[in-house]
Structure formats: C-alpha cells, structure tokens
Structure 1
C-alpha cells in the first residue's frame, strides 16, 4: 500500500506552537488559586490567584454557603490588589489578592475569583475555624522540592485522603528547587490541585525558595513569586514580613521562622532571635509549634552539616518557653527526637521540645549511624504527618504514602510541668526503613 506524506513548512509549525504559548501566557483565566491566612483564621480568609493578562476589574465574590445553586442575592464583591511579576524570560503574570474579613467563626463560605466581565473561576468553599473546644488537626509535609508533580503529588493526595478535615497544610520549606522558575511553581500548584482552593496552606521558606538575584549574580534573593502568590501575616520583623510570622489557630500558636536568612549573619540571627523571644513570651495559647527549614541537629550524609549558631541561639528560647513541637525539613530523611536538651533537665517519661525532620518528595539522603541523634529514623521513604490536638492531648502520627503508620507519639499537657511523652512506635522494637542495600547510607 502506497503511503502519502505531507510536508508542513517549518514556519507554519513554528507559528502554531508560538501561538499556543502566547495564548497561554495571555489568558485571563484565573490560575494558581490558593488559600492562605493574613489575619485571624476564625474571622478571615485570604485568597490569591494570577492571570497572564491584566484584569480590568479583578474581584472575588463571597457568600455563606448553602445547598442552593441559585441564591446569589447575598453575594459580596471584594476588589483585589494587583502585583505584576516579570520573570527572567520576560514572561509577565499578574497576581491578585483578597482578604475576606469579618467572617463568622466556624462558617462555611463559597467563593470565586476573576473578572465578572471576562473569566471567573469555579465556585469553591472553605470553612473558618471555630472557637469551640473540640479536636482539630493539621497536616505537615517536609521537602517536596524535586519532581514535584510526578512524585510529590502522591504525598499531598495521600495526606489529604487521610485527613480531609484537617484545618491546614504546612510545608516546611523547599516547596520547589529553583525559586525563580515559574515551571516549577506550576508543578507545585498542579500537584495540589483543588486542595489549595479549599484548605489553607502555611508555607515555610527554605533555602531553595531563594535564587540568584537578576540584578546581582553574587546575591541570593527570595523567590520573585513568594510574596505575590502567598498572602501571609505581616507580624514578622521588618524586612522579613511574610517569611517570618505567627498564626494563632484555636489554642495553638504556630511560629514560622526564616532559618536561611538567620544563618547569613550574626545580625540577622539576632533579629529573629529577638522576635522569637517576643512572640513566645507574650503567648496566650496552650500549645506552641515552631517551624523552620534547617534542623538544629543532623546525621545525614552529604555536604550539609550541623548549624551550631542556629542551635545555640534558638534552642534555649524554645526550651525556656516550653515549645511543644518543632517541625523542619532540609535533610531529606525522617528523624524524630524527644530528648535533645541544652538548658533544661526533663524528668524521665516527659519531654521538652520534640524535634521532627521529614521528607515528602523523591529526593532522599542517608543517615550516618555514628552521627545519629534521633529516637526514630527512616530513609528512602515519602512521608506526611497528621497532628491532632484535643484539649490537653497532642497526637502525632507519621504515615508513608502507602498508608503505613511509621511513627506515633502523644504529648500530654501538664500545668507548670513538661509534657508527658508517650511513644507508641519505638525504633528498638519496630524496624526502620532503609535503602535497598539494607543500610541507612546511600549507595555510592
């Protein structure tokens, strides 16, 4: 049978694909919609999105949700703020933010964003936290960083499937690998899918959220996308707003620090140390959780080491104020330790701050046995964590993406004493995950 081939001139093919790219870059369709908090989670909700062309009338619409699809008379309209971002390839996007305020605690709201005369997003829903004394949970994920869509997606989805009612999802830094790379942020947003439009995100800044300055190749600066795409509290030190902040969520104070900047100079470290002391001294909440990217202690192989300056400055502050849990990333291993103290003596069966390092993505390092500090460890394992608080009890559960319970402990709050620490999974009794070669060290 005779085959016929049609030759298409190269300039037509080039024009076709150029047109596709141009049309995508210039779309008015809202994308990268994400919920965060700038204010009180019980009475406010922030939402951010972007488009490829500037909208003439960027708005968000909001109403208390019900089962009806036609009752729109009570819809409120909010004007959005606009930020223009032009990346190093000359591609422009416009970011829009709205903070809904004066909301009803425990209320479920429907919302959509866009331009009423152009493109509007689908309706989605969120629920503000209430002020009732009832159990609540949140999700914690360590570094995703690489192959975010192909591998990171399954950790995000597994976490959401395990705890769909969790109040928020915390990422402990290195959400992506190259801070200025739009393609990687696209992967991150794609990996989160609809979850980010329904469940608030609490992002912690890592070293990979910094990238080479477009003006000075010898300087690292925060990702050009960080502040435009995340609407976060402005209660941090001057110059570090939206990378250092705290959120009061029910009876928990969650403090987020910028460990990368703190490691740059004694002055920067002192600035954040003073902030940490202040927000922990004036803390009315029962539970305190602190999150930053770089661990105080490390046993991982490779180039990274301990950070004694960070540890010497912040560990005494955490111990002084009886911080309950410290959540970190960076090492691409799993590590949990409840007995690393510097300035305090904790009775047997109790715990000062419990330190955790976790990893959600595919990039894995190993653990050097002689440097081991943790009570429970794991390598070559994608994990997520569900943390539940019920009055005086904090339940910590770490799961693999295969829905296997990998680590489990409880903290029981005591008045004027350290927490009672109950370990449900112990490394001496339960096998730890290793590499295929049977060791905690990577194969060379």
Structure 2
C-alpha cells in the first residue's frame, strides 16, 4: 500500500514537471510569408470580393467589385437555391489612387430578412450563387473575433480555424488587408476572405494600416471607405470610421481610433448620443471595439491609446460597458474588469486580439512585473470566440494557432453588468456625464 502511494505521488510529480516544462518550452511560431495569388481570367462583369455586413434591423448589405463599369448593382435572393423571390438595387462607387483605378464597387442593401435563416443570392444577375445565414433573433449568439489579419500563411490558418467555428458574425477591430498603399493588395485580400465574408456578416473598424494618407495627394482611408461600407448612416454616424449596430440582444459600438475623439469631436458627441439610446432590457450586453488598446502591458505600442482612453473611458464606464475588444498589438491579452488603470468590478473586461496573422510578426516582449489588471497574455497568432449564452452569461475563448491546429489557450465566463449593482449605482452618474454639454 505504501509503495503504491509513493508510486502514485511520483507519477503526479513527474506529470507536473512535464506540464511545466511543456509550457516553459513552448516556442512561439515565426512569421509566415505573404500569400501569392494567381491571376484569374473571369468575365469583366463577374462578381469579385463578395462580402456582407449588417445594415440595420433585418437588413444586410452585399458588397462586391466588377471590372465592368456597366455591370448592374442588383442582388437577387431567396430561401431556395436558384430561386430568387426578391431583388434589390443599390449604389456603386469607385476610386483612383495614384496610378490605380478600382473596379466598380457595388453596395446593395437587401431585406427585410428573417432571423436565423439561410438565403441564397446572386450578384449582378450573373456569376456563382452565394449563400448567407442571418443571425438569430435572440440568444445564444456567437461572434468570431480576429484583428490585424493581413495576407500570410498564418492568416490562412486563422481563417480556416474561424471557418470551423459555428459563429454568426465576425468582428474585426482594424488592420484588414495590410495593403499599405499597394492597392492590388486590397483586391487579393477581398479574394482571400470571400469564402467566409460572403457567408456571414463581417463588421470591421479601421486600423492604422487602412489610413494610406498621402499629404496633398490623397485623403486617408479612401480605399477602406470605398470598399468596406459599414452601417454608419443607419446608426446616426456621419463617418464610416465609427458606428454601432445591434444583433441578438447585443449592442456593439465600433469606435474609430484614427478619427477625432476629444470632447468637442463629432465622434465623442455621437458616442454620447448612441449610449443614451441603448436599452439594456432589449440589449443586455454592451460591447465596444476599437483598434488601439487602452490597456496594454506589451512593450509594443505603449501609450498610443492614452489620449482616447482619457477622453472616452468615463463614458464607457458610466454606461456599464461589458467588454472592450481591440487589435493593433500583435499578441493576445485579457484583463479582469478594470477602470482608470485599476481593477474595478464595475468596469469592462479588455481583450487585445491583434494576432490574426499579419506579416509584421508577433509582439513578443511584455512589461514586467505584470500589471494587476492583466490576467492572461501570450504572443501567438490566433482568434477569439465569444458565445453569448443568455442575458447574463457569455463564454470567451482564445484559440492559439499551434502547428496549424486551433488550441484553446485561454477561456473565461463573463457575467454581464446588466443586473449588477453597478448599473443601478451608476444610473445618475451615467445621465450626468452623457447629458453634459
């Protein structure tokens, strides 16, 4: 009996050593080369780079590009393959960037659509048939989250892992194509993400790699604004760089890290007005996405979000925001609930998820000692999944790309502030701050 006990103890001890060594010896992956795309000889009116986004209650925006300027901006759609009971017409645009001229960029809003329903659709009356699935009307609802995607081998791996996730909406907190002035890279990015982005809505906000500003020659975000039209008008925003939308009991605010954000700015005033419209009985969850993180213990991009944080954090805190998702730092980090740089049970959880697969590589250096608000951090490529189970509980998981296999490395249950004392205690403060001139 004593020998058996010693043997069992030794086995457990060796197992602990093995686990410790495995974690300590984990070698983070190196960057992978940028993907190469072969030229395709399709008809000039053939729809390319198809993607969809939410466009108000029960509506979806379908976007694509054609090389033929005479191609019609029309979407035919229905609930049966090859049988289109409805049709919608829309708008188109194009842009010039130095020696580059884009194709005809089509944006068509379709609907009203039924919740949790598969629709089959065709763009411009020709080309392949696509299918999309609308989000559910109520919980549960699942979001895939990945920022700073780019077009590398790791991007491809991340997209493959997201495709395995049964998600309803993709959230992308900035840095999409990493075109960086090379406009054809916008086209190859659209081609790369089309299989996923044509089937589920992609809701994005801008990052620094979308700016592409050339003094005296080109305004910033011209390519991004032309190609990725988001529901700014539907949410009362005057800029495509910040907007909000609601889906399945969740109100989501997409802020613009590269739009003016001080207390006299349009974005600040829009945010106040948008928060005042939020009905936590209808949408008990309140989420915010932006590119530059406010809470970051990585050596990379230290302090870049401080100005925006100083201006807007009091608004988010007063409104009892549950979760803030950001990108920019090419690594993963999750905080506990925090406000004013201190742990606070009434503040939001902050998650940095800028590790989708960009060509610049990982941000491997963290500041030590770890701040008391930081819970988990790791410099690896990957994606996140947020499953909101009901009005009060959500499950967050982060999936590291490990040898092309999605490995769940971090997970946590998050409880909404909707029924907490925080919301009740801050109701007066909330109104005071948001109603202030």
**TM class by smaller structure:** 0.7 to 0.9
Give the Å deviation of 1:24.
5.6
How far apart are 1:172 and its partner, in Å? 0.9
8 Å Cα contact 1:153/1:192 also seen in 2: no
**How far has the Cα of 1:98 moved from its partner?**
1.0
1:236–1:275 contact (8 Å) kept in structure 2: no
Distance 1:408 1:273, change over 3 A: same
2:414 corresponds, among 405, 411, 414, to 411
Displacement of 1:239 in angstroms is 4.1
Change in Cα spacing, 1:238 to 1:200, as seen in structure 2 (3 Å) is closer
Whether contact under 8 Å (2:250, 2:285) holds in the other structure is: yes
Counterpart Cα distance in 1 of 2:140 and 2:146:
20
Question: Which of 48, 68, 76 in structure 2 is aligned with 1:61?
Answer: 76
| Distance apart, 1:56 and its partner CA | 4.5
d(CA) in 1 for partners of 2:263, 2:226: 23
Find the residue that maps to 2:338 and give its secondary structure.
Answer: coil
State the partner residue of 1:124: 130
Cross-structure match for 2:288:
290
The CA deviation at 1:417 is 2.6
Secondary structure of the residue aligned to 1:155 is helix
Q: Is the 2:45–2:71 Cα contact (8 Å) retained in structure 1?
A: no
Match of 1:140 among 132, 141, 145: 145
The answer (yes or no) to whether the contact 1:152–1:191 under 8 Å persists in 2 is no
Taking the TM superposition and a 5 Å limit, the aligned residue runs for 1:214-293 are 216=216, 221-235=220-234, 239-240=238-239, 242-262=240-260, 266=262, 270-284=265-279, 285-293=283-291
Task: Look up the match of 1:208.
Answer: 209
Q: 1:386–1:396: 8 Å Cα contact kept in structure 2?
A: yes
Asked if 2 retains the 8 angstrom alpha-carbon contact of 1:297 and 1:306, the reply is no
Return structure 1 stretches of 4+ with deviation > 6 angstroms.
Answer: none
Query: What secondary structure, in the 3-state scheme, does the structure 2 residue paired with 1:260 have?
Result: coil
Give yes or no for the alignment of 1:191 onto 2:192: yes
Contact 1:291 1:326 in 2 (8 A): yes
CA distance in 1, matches of 2:194, 2:226: 20
TM-score (norm 1): 0.77
Q: Does the residue aligned with 2:320 lie in a helix, a strand or coil?
A: coil
What is the aligned residue count?
A: 373
How far did 1:230 drift? Answer: 2.8
- Post-superposition Cα deviations, 1:86-115, rounded to whole Å, max 9, x if no partner, equal 33224341011111122223332110102x
| Structure 1 residues 56 and 153, CA gap change in structure 2 (3 angstroms) | closer
Contact 1:170 1:201 in 2 (8 A): yes
Distance 1:344 1:335 in 2: 16
Question: 1:368, CA displacement in angstroms?
Answer: 2.4
Equivalence for 1:367: 366
Cα distance in structure 2, aligned partners of 1:33 and 1:288: 29
**Equivalent residue for 2:44?**
27
Q: Please give the residue correspondences for 1:164-175 in structure 2 after superposition, counting only pairs within 5 Å.
A: 164=166, 166-175=167-176
Contact between 2:47 and 2:65, CA under 8 Å: does it hold in 1?
yes
Q: Aligned to 1:191, what secondary structure does the other structure show?
A: helix
Query: How far 1:236 moved relative to its partner?
Result: 5.5
Q: Which residue does the alignment assign to 1:432? A: none
RMSD: 2.7
Aligned equivalents of 2:318 and 2:381: distance in 1?
33
Q: Does 1:311 align with 2:309?
A: yes
Aligned partner of residue 258 in structure 2, secondary structure: helix
Candidates 78, 94, 119, aligned match of 2:88: 78
Closer/same/farther in 2, CA of residues 394 and 351 from structure 1, 3 Å limit: farther
Determine which of 352, 358, 361 is the counterpart of 1:357.
Answer: 352
In 2, Cα distance between equivalents of 1:344 and 1:367: 18
**2 CA distance for matches of 1:273 and 1:33?**
32
Cα displacement (A) at 1:287: 0.2
Structure 1 gaps, min length 5: 1-19, 420-444
Specify every segment of 5 or more residues in structure 2 that has no aligned partner in the other structure, as ranges: 1-37, 424-437
1:116-175 alpha-carbon deviations (Å, 9 max, x no partner): 3xxx121121222332x4411010112123xx14321110111121x13x1111111011
2:153 maps to which residue? Answer: 150
Contact 1:180 1:225 in 2 (8 A): no
- The residue number in structure 2 matching 1:400 is 400
Aligned mates of 1:405, 1:276 — CA distance in 2 = 34
Moved more, 254-263 or 326-335: 254-263
**Displacement of 1:418:** 4.8
